[in-house]
């Protein structure tokens, strides 16, 4: 186990710069999620850590040592690939034991540790099967076991769950977390799935266009996005452009409405252009507009219930506004009925 570090790395493919001055620090035993849209450079960052690519600038460190000169086969990292990359010609035990074999471990030790690892990932007794005889979720576990059995310095996961269907993916998220904790291994997961990033990481780095946009504990980043991009990428967000009318009172004028009592970033001047970010689940259905914050009224544009929650949108002069409430709160609401949505200053993020 060791800490992982990218220190102000830059990287190019040909003439295209894919990473600019990216830093990442993952303390020993922590789970770090790197999230971003495709083309954001997240996979490049992982390839740098793994040693499949070299940085043009900056340093890659594992356990405090510069590993720039070490090829992937000597970095002692466990990698789980998006397509699992299992060895189709080896049975499950052969797959999991491969890294130990490459390290010259004895037959008995390989068998013992492979067996233990298969138990840990919940595949005990399947050692004699071949990868094409397993389900996607099981193959995923094999890939994980194969990466962990060598007791790697860290675990790198490249979109490991994206090929699974939704229900298994959620199960595997929990499993991944459990296994990572039990193994006590430092882990970095790269994903485009914000839900995965939020639920898996101890910390989160949002990448866009090869740059770090924001870094921090998942829900801090979610609740306090530093930019419109982060707000929109992590979860859903209603974004309203506005102009500060009175900084002291937290008064912001929107196109056809006004928010009061907002917590403006320190030093915001009067007349400054700001963006208000309100998550759909922050709205409350209100009888009338009351108290500070922002209230918007309009007829319901569409509404659909997913069991526990109801998701919908209302038409307002500011455009459609999305909201999410628990099902019972919907009462007898229906499409076309007018309703008022209210968000308190605590629910409104000013960017």
Decide if 14 contacts 33 (C-beta within 8 A). no
Q: What is the β-pairing status of strands 186-191 and 154-158?
A: parallel
Rounded to whole angstroms, the maximal C-alpha distance in the chain is 75
Partners of 269 in beta bridges: none
Note the Cα 208 to chain centre separation in Å: 13
Nearer to another protein, 146 or 279 (CB): 146
Nearer to another protein, 89 or 304 (CB): 89
DSSP category for residue 264:
P
Q: CB count, 10 Å around CB of 282? A: 21
Q: How far is the CB of 281 from another protein (least distance, A)?
A: 35
Nearer to another protein, 52 or 229 (CB): 52
Distance from the first to the final alpha carbon of the chain: 38
Nearer to another protein, 11 or 274 (CB): 11
* Binders in 312-341 for another protein, by CB under 8 A: none
Decide if 196 contacts 167 (C-beta within 8 A). no
* Binders in 254-313 for another protein, by CB under 8 A: none
Q: 287 φ, ψ to 5°?
A: -70, -50
Query: Rounded CA gap, 252 and 250, in Å?
Result: 6
Q: How far is the CB of 207 from another protein (least distance, A)?
A: 21
Query: Does 179 contact another protein by CB under 8 A?
Result: no
Q: How far is the CB of 51 from another protein (least distance, A)?
A: 8
Partners of 91 in beta bridges: none
Q: How far is the CB of 79 from another protein (least distance, A)?
A: 4
Q: How far is the CB of 102 from another protein (least distance, A)?
A: 4
Nearer to another protein, 102 or 326 (CB): 102
* Binders in 67-106 for another protein, by CB under 8 A: 71-79, 81-83, 85-91, 94, 98-99, 101-103
Nearer to another protein, 50 or 294 (CB): 50
* Binders in 20-49 for another protein, by CB under 8 A: none
Q: How far is the CB of 157 from another protein (least distance, A)?
A: 12
* Binders in 111-150 for another protein, by CB under 8 A: 130, 132-133, 135, 146-147, 150
Query: Rounded CA gap, 55 and 59, in Å?
Result: 7
Decide if 160 contacts 14 (C-beta within 8 A). no
Query: Rounded CA gap, 94 and 318, in Å?
Result: 60
Number of residues that bind another protein (CB under 8 A): 34
Nearer to another protein, 90 or 247 (CB): 90
Instruction: Name the strands in the sheet holding 309-316, side by side, starting at the edge strand that comes first in the sequence.
Output: 284-286, 338-343, 294-305, 309-316, 319-326
- Interface residue list for another protein (CB under 8 A): 50, 52, 71-79, 81-83, 85-91, 94, 98-99, 101-103, 130, 132-133, 135, 146-147, 150
């Amino acid at each position: 186990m060791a800490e992982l570090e990218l220190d102000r790395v830059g990287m190019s493919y040909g003439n295209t710069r894919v990473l600019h001055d990216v830093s990442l620090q993952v303390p020993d035993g922590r789970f770090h999620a790197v999230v971003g849209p495709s083309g954001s450079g997240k996979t490049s960052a992982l390839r740098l850590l793994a040693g499949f690519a070299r940085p043009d600038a900056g340093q890659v460190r594992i356990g405090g040592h510069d590993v720039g000169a070490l090829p992937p086969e000597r970095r002692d990292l466990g990698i789980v690939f998006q397509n699992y990359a299992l060895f189709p010609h080896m049975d499950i035990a052969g797959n999991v034991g491969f890294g130990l074999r490459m390290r010259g471990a004895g037959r008995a030790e390989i068998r013992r540790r492979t067996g233990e690892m298969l138990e840990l990932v919940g595949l005990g007794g399947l050692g004699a099967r071949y990868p094409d005889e397993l389900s996607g979720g099981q193959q995923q576990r094999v890939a994980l076991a194969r990466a962990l059995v060598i007791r790697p310095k860290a675990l790198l996961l490249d979109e490991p769950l994206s090929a699974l269907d939704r229900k298994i993916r959620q199960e595997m998220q929990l499993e991944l977390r459990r296994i990572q904790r039990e193994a006590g291994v430092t882990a970095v997961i790269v994903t485009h799935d914000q839900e995965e990033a939020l639920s898996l990481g101890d910390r989160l780095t949002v990448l866009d266009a090869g740059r770090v946009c924001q870094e921090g504990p998942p829900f801090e980043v979610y609740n306090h996005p530093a930019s419109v991009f982060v707000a929109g990428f992590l979860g859903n967000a209603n974004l309203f452009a506005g102009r500060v009318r009175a900084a002291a009172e937290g008064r912001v004028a929107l196109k056809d409405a006004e928010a009061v009592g907002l917590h403006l970033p320190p030093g915001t001047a009067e007349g400054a252009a700001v963006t208000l970010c309100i998550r759909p689940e922050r709205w409350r259905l209100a009888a009338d507009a009351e108290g500070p914050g922002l209230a918007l009224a309009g007829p319901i544009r569409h509404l659909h219930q997913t069991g526990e929650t109801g998701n919908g949108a209302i038409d307002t002069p500011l455009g459609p506004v999305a909201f999410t409430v628990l099902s019972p709160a919907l009462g007898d609401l229906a499409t076309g009925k007018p309703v008022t949505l209210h968000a308190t200053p605590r629910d409104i993020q000013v960017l």
